[in-house]
Amino acid sequence: MNIRVAGPRSWSGPRNGAPWVWGFAAAALVWLVILVISGQGGGQTVSLALSLAPYLVIVGLGQMLVVTAGPGNIDVSVSSIISLAGFVSVAAASATGSAAVGILAGIGVGVLVAAVSTVAILGLSVPPIIATLAAGLVASSITLSTANGFTAVPDAGLRAALNLRPAGVPVLALAIAVLTVLVAALLRRTVYGRSLVAVGQNRRAAERAGVPVARVTATTYLLSGALAGLTGALLAAYIAPSADLGTRYLLDSVAVVVIGGTLISGGRAVPVGVWGAALFFILLDGLVNLVGWSTAAQNLLKGGLVLFVLFLAGGGDRSGGLASLFRRRPRPAAATTTTTITGDDTDG
Amino acid sequence: MAQLLAPALPGRARMRRSAPAAVSAVALIVMIGVCSSLQPGVLTVEGLTLVLSATVPLVIAAQAQMTLMAVGDIDLGIGNFVGLVTVVSATLLVSSPLTGVLVLAGLVAAYAVLGFLIHLRQVPALIATLGASFVWLGLGLFLLPTPGGTTPEWLASFGAWQPAGFPAPLLPIVVVALLVYLLSARSALGVRMRGLGSNPVVLRRAGLRPVTSRVVAYAAAGVLGVLSGLVLASQTGGGDVSSASSYTLMTVAAVILGGGSFAGGTAVPWGAAVGGVTLGLVSVVLSLLDVRSDMQSAVQGVIVLAVLAGRVVVGKVLR
């Protein structure tokens, strides 16, 4: 077994400035284009984007925590959790007549599915992508069997609350903004958050320093599951429960995390950046709809932009600025700090 | 003691390396056993043809994923790419074969360019292939917004080909695995590819250019993705860009089942074939067991976990 110990991450330090700006900058650019094309007041566009973006932000925050846990950590069960949680929460809400119970049920489903992945990751040392894939497959099977003959309708009160926009500002956006601040505080001010960042920067060093790596990893995946479950519960009330409710959220959640400035190799989380990237994605959808392009063009544009920004930013030798948006592979010059420990093979 | 250990070590190391694939092979044999006990016809040539044919596209796509995982990358766009190829074969390849072939060649070139840019710009393959997957999806929807189209005659006749004596699907599975084996395990290029996956610094110090390895790996993955899409189109008789979207993660699971790793540096063409067939057979076993198709993905998930749990146990025994 080869265990790679990453080199010093000095370049991910403060000199990189504010990596979250770029998502907002891109969102603002798209908003300007929409403004020019439609010729109408831009306030309504922003208001609409703010009512759609929170769903992507919630699931994105969970994905961000997982990605921050270090290389190889990714949660690919979020889409299945969203679909399943949608059905379960609507069923629970209509059975008890309480929207709060429905939301809690959705969160509970997310935690349950994530618990399966966590047991596989920690107990069986299964790579996270496979463990969450397997748990997600089980969840989507349950979703399909639930979807047959499902008749319950989403809670009207919750739907009205999600559509509430006093002075054009969606209540949900405010609530999720508070949630984002809480996640940021969790990362900065709590032992768990500091441990998570430490584990993401260097798992071995964190282990040696006495950080309970297993407990931190478990908490992270459970949190991601809970947030995905919350997304599902809210989304099902906002739209309607369906088996492919969460399909688009898998790729989108990973994309917004990375565009938002979180390091894909872990060790640096940027909660605010998720908002910028989510607004960028939602506004981009709006722009394509406005111009009347098909979903084909929408996907081409989205993929093209992700690739363009990615390759433009790149790794290379420049530091700071756009280049800091994305994690680089160890560069040839810096790669000498990459140690490969092969000790495991010789003691067999 | 040292003399006794010295010759024993390579054997033990080799055993540990091939153990994961062996566990998957056991799972595969168990599944074929279950199939044949439920339906004795499965073990005849016709039965095996029927059972295996559905797994061929997944197995070939798994070889593409394996090639990239050997250099330490991962391809999150392969599912949509295979879907795009089925669309090209259902539209352009029928209406104007020359354009169709050129487009397919262009897609392979696009993969090579993607690999080149990933290397040149030093960006994570995970995100680059994720971005590319949107592009493949968009192109597919652009060519064929709704599933449909037809299949070129030669491709359809390949899909319907029934040789006497051996099950036809076995041929593409074995031939592709053999070719990938020759490329990745037996050729100088293969050594460079695996070298890039296990230690790029050493590869550089040896005076070899890592960029060549990566571009070759991506081009090979592109060729295999095109092959997989053509086989899928020959079976479904049309094109649908989202027909293979589950392949993205299934191929990763197949490679892991076959003993591959995310760290790169290992090439497991035979393991990937075994893993792919195992995952593909799940639907067959379930339909024989009369289980509702809803449960198919759950059983796939449980099997992946069970095989990996088995590997942990075997790994502990061998240690």
Q: What angle do CA A135, A140, A143 make, to 5 degrees?
A: 130
Does residue A322 belong to any structural domain of this protein? Answer: no
Mean pLDDT of B236-240: 87
pLDDT of residue B140: 93
Give the global pTM: 0.80
Query: Which residues in chain A are contacts of B201 at CB distance < 8 A?
Result: 332, 335-336, 338
- Its domain, for residue B183, covers 50-318
Q: Which residues contact B109 (CB under 8 A, 6 or more apart)?
A: B219, B222
Give bridge partners of residue B71 from the DSSP assignment: none
Pure H helices in chain A? 21-38, 43-68, 78-96, 99-123, 128-147, 156-163, 171-189, 191-201, 203-208, 213-238, 249-259, 271-291, 295-313, 343-346
Does residue A307 belong to any structural domain of this protein? Answer: no
- Per-residue pLDDT of B250-271, as tens digits, reads 898 899 888 887 777 888 889 8
Query: What is the separation of C-alpha A237 from the centre of its chain, rounded to a whole number of angstroms?
Result: 20
What is the Cα–Cα distance from A251 to A266, expressed in whole angstroms?
18
Residues B288 and B39 sit within 8 Å (Cβ to Cβ): yes
pLDDT classification of B303: cutoffs 50, 70, 90: confident
User: Which of A303, A326, A328 faces B138 most closely, judged by CB atoms?
Assistant: A303
Does residue A143 belong to any structural domain of this protein? Answer: yes
Mean pLDDT of B113-118: 94
Nearest to B161 by CA among B152, B150, B171, B151: B171
What is the Cα–Cα distance from A68 to A91, expressed in whole angstroms?
34
Task: Please state whether A17 falls in left (phi above 0), alpha (psi between -120 and 50) or beta.
Answer: left
What is the Cα–Cα distance from A197 to B173, expressed in whole angstroms?
44
Residues B136 and B80 sit within 8 Å (Cβ to Cβ): yes
Query: Within 13 Å, how many C-alpha atoms sit on residue A138's CB side?
Result: 18
pLDDT classification of B281: cutoffs 50, 70, 90: confident
What is the Cα–Cα distance from A296 to A285, expressed in whole angstroms?
12
Say if the Cβ atoms of B201 and A296 lie within 8 Å.
no
pLDDT of residue B17: 67
Say if the Cβ atoms of A326 and B319 lie within 8 Å.
no
Query: Domain containing B124 — which CATH number?
Result: 1.10.3470
Does residue A212 belong to any structural domain of this protein? Answer: yes
Q: Which residue of B has its CA nearest to A126?
A: B308
Does residue B152 belong to any structural domain of this protein? Answer: yes
Distance from CA of B313 to the nearest CA of A (A): 9
Q: Which residue of A has its CA nearest to B310?
A: A124
Q: Which residue of B has its CA nearest to A313?
A: B121
Q: Is the per-residue pLDDT at B109 higher than 90?
A: yes
Mutate to test the interface with A, among B297, B299, B302, B317 (most CBs of A within 10 A): B297
User: Which of A72, A307, A313 faces B132 most closely, judged by CB atoms?
Assistant: A307
Say how many domains are in chain A: 1
Other beta carbons less than 10 A from residue B69's beta carbon: 30
Q: Which residue of B has its CA nearest to A338?
A: B201
- Per-residue pLDDT of A115-158, as tens digits, reads 999 999 998 888 888 899 889 989 989 999 888 888 888 888 88
Query: Domain containing A217 — which CATH number?
Result: 1.10.3470
Q: Is A341 helix (H, G, I), strand (E, B) or coil?
A: strand
Q: Is the per-residue pLDDT at A45 higher than 50?
A: yes
- Per-residue pLDDT of A236-289, as tens digits, reads 999 888 888 988 898 889 888 888 888 877 888 999 999 999 999 899 888 888
Residues B172 and B56 sit within 8 Å (Cβ to Cβ): yes
Does residue A238 belong to any structural domain of this protein? Answer: yes
Mutate to test the interface with A, among B81, B121, B251, B314 (most CBs of A within 10 A): B121
pLDDT classification of A314: cutoffs 50, 70, 90: low
Does residue A125 belong to any structural domain of this protein? Answer: yes
Q: What is the ipTM of this complex?
A: 0.82
pLDDT of residue A41: 67
Does residue A31 belong to any structural domain of this protein? Answer: no
Other beta carbons less than 10 A from residue A257's beta carbon: 31
pLDDT of residue B319: 65
Mean pLDDT of A79-95: 93
- What residue type is A98 in one-letter code? S
- Per-residue pLDDT of B49-86, as tens digits, reads 888 888 999 999 999 999 999 998 889 899 999 999 99
Other beta carbons less than 10 A from residue A214's beta carbon: 14
pLDDT of residue B125: 85
What is the Cα–Cα distance from A19 to A4, expressed in whole angstroms?
26
Mean pLDDT of B42-48: 81
pLDDT of residue A323: 36
Mean pLDDT of B166-175: 88
pLDDT of residue A158: 87
- Its domain, for residue A186, covers 44-292
pLDDT of residue A334: 39
Does residue A34 belong to any structural domain of this protein? Answer: no
What is the Cα–Cα distance from A332 to B195, expressed in whole angstroms?
15
- The rounded mean pLDDT for chain A is 82
pLDDT of residue B8: 47
Say how many domains are in chain B: 1
What is the Cα–Cα distance from A219 to A222, expressed in whole angstroms?
5
- What residue type is B190 in one-letter code? G
- The rounded mean pLDDT for chain B is 85
Say if the Cβ atoms of A254 and B131 lie within 8 Å.
no
Mutate to test the interface with B, among A73, A130, A302, A341 (most CBs of B within 10 A): A130
In a 10 Å sphere around its CB, with 0-12 CB exposed, 13-18 middle and 19+ buried, how is residue A204 labelled?
A: middle
Q: Is the per-residue pLDDT at A15 higher than 60?
A: no
Distances (CA, A) of A49 to A42, A273, A296, B47: 11, 16, 21, 54
User: Which of A315, A340, A345 faces B123 most closely, judged by CB atoms?
Assistant: A315
pLDDT classification of A317: cutoffs 50, 70, 90: very low
Query: Which residues in chain A are contacts of B117 at CB distance < 8 A?
Result: 311
Mean pLDDT of B139-152: 89
pLDDT of residue A89: 94
Does residue B249 belong to any structural domain of this protein? Answer: yes
Residues A286 and A45 sit within 8 Å (Cβ to Cβ): yes
